[in-house]
Amino acid sequence: MSLQASTQDLVFTQMMRVAAAASLAALLARFAVFRRAVFAARRTPRQNLELMAMLALPFALGVTLRLFHYNFADMTLEGALLIGLVGGRLAGPIGGVIISLPAYAHHEWLAMPVAVVAGLLGGLIREAVPSNEAIWDFGPFTFLSVPRRLWRLAVDRESAWPLLPLAACVGLELARLALGRAVPSRWLFYFPASSAWLVALDVFAAIFAVSLPIKIWNSIRLELNLEENQRLLLRARMDALASQINPHFLFNTLNTVSSLVRFDPDKAREVVLKLSSILRRLLRQHETFVPLREELSFIDDYLDIEVARFGPDKLQFFHEVEDETLDAFVPSMLLQPIVENAVKHGLGPKLEGGEIRLRSHRTEGRLLIEVEDNGTGIPEHRHPDISGSGIGLRNVRERLQIIYGNDFHLDIDSRPGEGTRIRIDIPELVPTISQTIKTVASN
């Protein structure tokens, strides 16, 4: 069916057609189901159905709107070709059938065959490209690089795959225009062009209506890939830091066991049982976050071993923990390096021993944790680089930096001869949120 309209109306219609295609692409990209389907390297049958439905139904709605004289909404060829390019050889023709059903029901007999051909052509192009990634190279301004790509194809045998969807857009639109003029007007809808520049405008609108969605989705694809790479990098850094902490802890613990074996075998056996309990936790599936309750239990097992070495009269440990903080989630192995430093460097050199106090409370959505000892303290000449010295404190700070960015505080207050207090201020994670973080991190 030919469209009787002025030149001005045709220009406006083509502009609206491109805008509608871009808007639809941006809207679909907001749905996680669509993103999973369109970006999947290998789609399941369900994902193929989801992708085809989420693309074909909106384009079919556009054809329906055109029947009510909203001509810019009709993107039969563009929609079918797009489904074929992103969905494959099977999805393209089926999508073409779905899109053209309203027009076919309106007795536009050539609408369905033309849409099926467009969808099949898009699917064949997808299979012809060397990889699925190559489809995303097609952009709105690919036509500007046609001479360069043809030259490289002739001279260097370099592939020019982005030219295939470009040629498909041009060929399909010109074929529809020629076919529409050759058959009765009711059989096929097309945009009549009375001059060469209107034909060119029609062709460019078709190119943009197909390439803009691909470009929009490609930008989102690259952003998701960047986020995934950053997540994997973060995970690798966390694992690297944890692998530094665990051997450091085990080395010092085994020294404690070796010192007990000679003069107190029974106590050594008890310590080995405690050590096995600790090892079972370390060898479990790595968890980024654990409840503070579990972290304190881990500290208790560790200090039981240290008490066996120092004696109950020389090492005492006190909890001053608010009950409502026990279910708060903290980074795994957060406190053990701090407590280990307090035992080894704070109380170890002190002949009469001492005590360690661990406090926790919450305020205004923040979790505050303090580890304080009454040991020898840190010499004044080491205060400037205190937070960066030693494996323990350095790794604690690095892990907090990775997890919380700048939204944390690690303060160290030490008085030579009186003791050291380390204060950690981090955002409080409620169980529901932290469980989600644990699940994402473990995946």
- Residue 76: what pLDDT? 93
For the purposes of burial, counting CB atoms within 10 Å of the CB of 405, is it exposed (0-12), middle (13-18) or buried (19 or more)?
exposed
Q: Which of 432, 278, 420, 242 is closest to 339 using CA atoms?
A: 420
Q: Is 63 left (phi over 0), alpha (psi -120 to 50) or beta?
A: alpha
- Residue 110: what pLDDT? 93
Q: Which of 326, 334, 397, 331 is closest to 360 using CA atoms?
A: 326
Asked if 411 and 382 count as a contact pair (C-beta separation under 8 A), the reply is no
Interacting residues of 272 by C-beta distance below 8 A, sequence separation 6+? 257
Amino acid at site 165: P
* Backbone phi and psi for residue 265, each to the nearest 5 degrees, phi listed first: -60, -40
Show the CA angle centred on residue 35, arms to residues 34 and 38, nearest 5°.
80
- Residue 433: what pLDDT? 43
Interacting residues of 83 by C-beta distance below 8 A, sequence separation 6+? 51, 52, 55, 56, 91, 92, 95, 96, 119, 122
10-residue mean pLDDT series, the chain (443 residues):
60 90 93 90 87 93 92 92 92 94 92 94 88 78 72 65 86 92 89 84 92 92 82 66 58 73 79 78 67 87 77 81 89 83 79 85 90 83 51 77 86 86 86 45 45
- Residue 442: what pLDDT? 46
Find the distance separating the first CA and the last CA of the chain, reported in whole Å. Answer: 54
Q: What are the boundaries of each domain within the chain?
A: 7-228, 263-442
In angstroms, the CA 337 to CA 342 distance is 9
Q: How far is CA 388 from the centre of its chain?
A: 31
User: What CATH code would you report for 263-442?
Assistant: 3.30.565.10
